[in-house]
Structures are given as structure tokens and as C-alpha cells.
């Protein structure tokens, strides 16, 4: 599968996103990461940053060692660093930890990572000077994006290598991409934007790299995408029920109330609304219909989609808590005038739900592929031609489109294997249990991309089947999806043609939310 591309901007992109004492919303994170909304630091946050810095400077001047301020790091924390070497200590930390390898990480991920680190800096719990978050905000606003690599984070102590590559750019080192996407040295990009690198002081290098910001940013972006995809999966399921002459009676609210999972009820309500006034469904609703019950992949769609929704709701709850957190070690407690070591950088809470979401993506894709496959088998499609082909035998129709789905679903099942249960000790056994949350996030991005592709092929196939059911008319909602596909250059039934471009068009219509929008324009907002 290809690397996911930026999609799904919030419905209303905030004109400006303020980081300060409150938690960022999902929409604000997406707006900055994808929509390039400008960022400002609130006055209250700047005051809190100043108060915390006073505590750090007092501890830096004290003869007693304080971790992260006047000592080494990790397994080297036992060494007390003299005052004249502490600036070098912070530079060395950033340089040595910027040890990533592999392909570049997507721009939206790096921007999300920077925003979330900025948000933690703005809580006044990290002890940096205001100049540090101010430069980070200025880089975001100038479109300067540090080059971050695929490999390097164990998800504990936070996303060290990815954040270090960002910190490296703040001191004018390493490579970045400017607003146009051009690759150039950080010092040149800063100068071109009228910005000056910062010289890190006590505690600041550590404060820039010790957080779960990368994995959290990817979780928020994935949940934004999955919000669209789960509703679109309901649309695809409705089109398949309709195209395969299934019944909508099983989606009745009184049946869902017997098993009161909220996600199930919402999905069933969507299916009922989408199928309303379908001429296809009405054609076999009478007493002559001998269909006793539909296959699981049709009949149980709300149960599977609903369980997925409820799981993602839990993921969103965890993400919301993490957005309200200040993740650093050590952390400044300015009201008490002290700095304390802690374990809040451990990525386990985020890593677990990243893995949960990958399971969801795999299973929703799995049931989507099974619904698609039923269209193509003449023994199960209730009168449709084999593989929906124009001249079966001469034409293959959508035979290989289902192969593509199957290949993707197989990969999604592998990606559903959790990363968070693995741990490889590091730092001379000081960091002897890690979350692998960054790895969980990277595979979730591939899972979300794969789910979009599988659902798109189901929509594409179901639309062809609905055309083949004419003169029976689809519901107004599903008819709108068919019309969208046709107006986007995807032809209706006919002799075989190059199918890959049509699949890619359908993928973009699904991923961008266009399919969802087409339905909601007809019947109102889906749940």
C-alpha cells in the first residue's frame, strides 16, 4: 500500500490555534497538522512558562544535583555536570538522540508532533524559557518542517529520536523542508524566514524530546480519518444489502435495543436511513419473498461496525486525556518550587489504543471484503452476472478488484498484531520496558489507508450492481453515491476497461469524505 496522503480537514478549520493552559481539541490538531492553521501562545501560558523557568534556574544554581538540569541522562544520570558544560550537555543530548533512520515521515505527522510538544511546553511544566516555544510556533507558522525518519522511537522515554530531529532544527542544525517542500539545511530555512536558532540552556534539550507527541499526533489524525471511514463503511454496507436483495428489517431500532451497544444502534440507524425509499428493497419486501435471512456479512454489519465505533470511542477518550497532559521528565511543579522525576513519558496508554484501532480497521475491512465477494459469485448474487462482467468469459468484470481487496485485508490482519506487547530494553537496562507506541502508530496509518481502499472497492462494486438492477431504483441516498461515481469519471457497467484508475478515483472519493457528503446532502447527517 502507498503511504497515506493528507485528507479529511475538519469541517471548520480554526482561523488560529492557541496553545496554553487548556487541552487542544482534535479539530485544532488536525487544522495545524493538515490545514496549516497558524499557532499562537497565550499570555497565560507565557506567564506559566516564566514561573517554571525560575524554578529550573534556582535548581541549576544549587550545589545539589537535579536530574535533567545538572546531570547526565538515562543510565548516565549519576554524573553531575559542571555549570560551564551544561549548554554543551543540552546540545549533545539533541545531537546524539537525533539518530533516526529510514524514509522521511509525512509532513502532517511532523507538524502534529511539533504542535503537541509545543502544547506541553506551554503548560509551564517543562521549565524552558519562552524563546523555545516561541521559535517552535514560528517554525510551524513559517511552514518549516524538520526531516524526521521512520525508525528511532521506542515510545519511551517518549518519541525521543523523532522529537530530537525537531529539536535539532531549533538549534539550526539538520535538514528541514520549507513551506514549498524544498529540502535544505535548517539554518538556511530559519534565516530565510527571518528566524534565529536558539541556544539551549539547562533542561531545555530534554524538555524538547521527552514526550509521546508523535504517537499521539498520529492517533488523532487516524481517529479523524476513521470517523469518516466508519460512516462511509455504513454507506457501503447499505449499498451491498440493497444490491444483493437483502432486507433492512434486521436493522430496526427495537432489535438493536435488545443489545444496547451505542455503536451498534448508531450504525443500524444509519443503514435504515440510507436504505429508506429504496425501490430495490421494496421490490422483494412482499409475502412472495423466500429469503429467510441474509448472510452474516450483511445482517451483522451493525454489530461489527458498532463494536468498531465503540472501540474507537475508547481510543478517542484516551487521546483526549493525553491531549490534556503535560508529558515530560523531570516535570516542574512551580507552585511547590521543585522538579520531580516521573514516568509519565511511558507510551503504554497511547500504544494500546493505537493497536486497538488497527484491529478495528482490519475487521471492518474484512467484513467489507466479504460483502464485496458476494456480488461476484453467481451462486450468491441473486441474479447478477458472474463477477458483474458484461460478457462473462470474455470479460472479467470486478474479479480482480476483489483480489486487490483480499491482498489489502491480508496485510491489515498482519498489521493488527499488536506492537505494544513487545519491549526491547535500552539505555543499559535503565529503560528496561518500553511501549513501542511509535511503531503502533506507524502501522495504524497503513491500516487506515488500507481500510479506505477496501471500502472504496466495495462502493465501486455495489454501485455497478445497483446499475445492473435497473429498472429497479436505488434509494435516494445510495443513488447519490452512484451519481457521484459516474460524475467523477467512473463508468457504469460495460466491457472490461483499465480498472485501476477507477479504483483510485473511488479511494479518493471515500478518503476525502465526498461519498459521505453525497449521502448527507440527501438524508442529513449520519451518526
Q: Specify the pLDDT at position 10.
A: 46
Compute the mean pLDDT over every residue in the chain, rounded to the nearest whole number. 93
Neighbours of 152 (CB within 10 A): 22
> Is 67 a residue of the active site?
yes
Measured from the Cβ of residue 118, the count of other Cβ atoms closer than 10 Å reads 27
- Residue in 223, 125, 237, 214 with CA at minimum distance from that of residue 165: 214
Above 50 in pLDDT, residue 4?
no
Task: Determine which one of 67, 151, 296, 403 is catalytic.
Answer: 67
Residue 5 pLDDT: 38
Element (H, E) at 217: helix 213-243
Question: What is the DSSP code string of 360-406?
Answer: HHHHHHHHHHHHHHHHH-TTTSSSPPGGG-SSBTTB-TTHHHHHHHH
Nearest to 229 by CA among 318, 308, 310: 308
* pLDDT at residue 307 greater than cutoff 50: yes
Q: What is the mean pLDDT of residues 246-274?
A: 97
**H or E stretch including 39?**
strand 39-41
Which residues, listed in sequence order, are joined to residue 338 by a DSSP beta bridge? Answer: 333
CATH 1.20.200.10 fits 219-285+294-328+344-523, yes or no: yes
> For residue range 403-433, what is the model confidence (pLDDT) as tens digits?
999 999 999 999 999 999 999 999 888 888 9
Question: Does CATH number 1.10.10.10 belong to domain 17-211?
Answer: no
Q: What is the pTM of this model?
A: 0.94
- The mean pLDDT of 483-489, rounded to a whole number, is 98
CATH 1.20.200.10 domain span(s) along the chain: 219-285+294-328+344-523
Confidence of residue 75 (pLDDT cuts 50, 70, 90): low
Inter-CA distances, 299 with 241, 271, 508, Å: 8, 11, 28
Res. 11: pLDDT tops 60 = no
Higher pLDDT, 329 or 114: 114
Residue 146 CB partners (closer than 8 Å, separation 6+): 110, 114, 165, 166, 168, 169, 174, 175, 176, 186
My answer on whether omega of the bond before 330 falls inside 30° of 0, hence cis, is yes
Q: How far from chain centre, in Å, is Cα 269?
A: 26
Mean pLDDT of 246-264: 96
In the chain, residues under CATH classification 1.10.275.10 are 17-211
DSSP bridge partners of 176 = 146, 184
| pLDDT average, residue stretch 381-387 | 95
Average pLDDT value for residue range 196-218: 95
| Neighbouring residues of 20: CB distance < 8 A, sequence distance ≥ 6 | 41, 42, 44, 45, 122
- The pLDDT, as a whole number, for residue 293 is 85
Q: Are 453 and 507 in contact (CB under 8 A)?
A: yes
Amino acid at each position: 500500500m502507498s503511504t497515506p496522503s493528507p485528507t479529511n480537514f475538519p469541517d471548520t478549520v480554526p482561523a488560529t490555534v492557541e496553545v496554553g493552559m487548556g487541552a487542544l481539541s482534535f479539530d485544532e490538531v488536525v487544522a495545524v497538522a493538515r490545514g496549516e492553521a497558524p499557532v499562537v501562545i497565550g499570555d497565560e501560558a507565557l506567564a506559566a512558562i516564566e514561573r517554571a523557568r525560575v524554578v529550573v534556574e534556582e535548581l541549576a544554581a544549587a550545589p545539589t544535583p537535579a536530574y535533567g538540569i545538572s546531570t547526565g541522562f538515562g543510565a548516565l544520570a549519576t554524573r553531575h555536570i559542571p555549570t560551564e558544560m551544561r549548554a554543551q550537555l543540552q546540545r549533545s543530548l539533541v545531537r546524539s538522540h537525533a539518530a533516526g533512520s529510514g524514509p522521511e515521515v509525512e509532513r502532517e505527522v511532523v507538524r502534529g508532533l511539533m504542535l503537541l510538544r509545543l502544547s506541553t511546553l506551554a503548560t509551564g511544566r517543562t521549565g524552558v524559557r519562552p524563546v523555545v516555544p516561541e521559535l517552535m510556533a514560528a517554525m510551524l507558522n513559517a511552514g518549516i518542517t524538520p526531516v524526521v525518519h521512520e525508525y528511532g522511537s521506542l515510545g519511551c522515554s517518549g518519541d525521543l529520536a523523532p522529537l530530537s530531529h525537531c529539536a535539532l532544527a531549533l538549534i539550526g542544525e539538520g535538514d528541514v523542508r520549507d513551506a514549498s517542500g524544498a529540502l535544505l539545511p535548517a539554518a538556511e530555512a530559519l534565516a530565510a524566514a527571518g528566524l534565529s536558532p536558539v541556544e539551549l540552556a539547562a533542561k531545555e534539550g530534554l524538555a524538547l524530546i521527552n514526550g509521546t507527541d508523535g504517537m499521539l499526533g498520529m492517533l488523532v489524525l487516524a481517529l479523524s480519518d476513521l470517523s469518516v471511514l466508519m460512516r462511509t463503511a455504513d454507506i457501503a454496507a447499505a449499498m451491498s444489502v440493497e444490491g444483493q436483495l437483502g432486507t433492512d428489517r434486521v436493522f430496526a431500532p427495537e432489535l438493536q435495543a435488545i443489545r444496547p451497544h451505542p455503536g451498534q444502534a448508531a450504525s443500524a440507524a444509519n443503514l435504515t436511513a440510507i436504505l429508506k425509499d429504496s425501490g430495490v428493497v421494496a421490490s422483494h419486501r412482499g409475502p412472495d419473498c423466500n429469503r429467510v435471512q441474509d448472510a452474516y456479512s450483511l445482517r451483522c454489519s451493525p454489530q461489527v461496525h458498532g463494536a468498531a465505533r465503540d472501540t474507537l470511542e475508547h481510543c478517542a477518550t484516551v487521546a483526549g486525556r493525553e491531549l490534556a497532559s503535560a508529558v515530560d521528565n523531570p516535570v516542574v511543579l512551580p507552585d511547590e518550587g521543585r522538579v520531580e522525576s516521573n514516568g509519565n513519558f511511558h507510551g503504554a496508554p497511547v500504544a494500546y489504543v493505537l493497536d486497538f484501532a488497527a484491529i478495528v480497521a482490519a475487521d471492518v475491512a474484512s467484513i467489507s471484503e466479504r460483502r464485496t465477494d458476494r456480488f461476484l459469485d453467481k451462486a450468491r448474487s441473486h441474479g447478477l452476472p458472474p463477477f458483474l462482467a458484461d460478457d462473462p468469459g470474455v470479460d472479467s468484470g470486478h474479479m480482480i478488484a476483489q483480489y486487490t481487496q483480499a491482498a489489502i485485508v491480508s496485510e491489515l490482519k498482519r498489521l493488527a498484531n499488536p506492537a505494544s506487547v513487545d519491549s526491547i530494553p535500552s539505555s543499559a537496562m535503565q529503560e528496561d520496558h518500553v511501549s513501542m507506541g511509535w511503531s503502533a502508530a506507524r502501522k495504524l496509518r497503513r491500516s487506515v489507508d488500507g481500510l479506505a481502499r477496501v471500502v472504496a472497492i466495495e462502493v465501486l462494486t455495489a454501485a455497478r450492481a445497483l446499475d445492473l438492477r435497473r429498472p429497479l431504483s436505488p434509494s435516494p441516498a445510495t443513488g447519490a453515491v452512484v451519481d457521484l461515481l459516474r460524475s467523477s469519471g467512473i463508468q457504469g457497467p460495460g466491457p472490461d476497461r483499465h480498472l485501476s484508475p477507477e479504483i483510485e478515483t473511488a479511494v479518493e472519493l471515500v478518503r476525502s469524505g465526498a461519498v459521505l457528503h453525497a449521502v448527507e446532502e440527501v438524508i442529513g447527517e449520519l451518526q
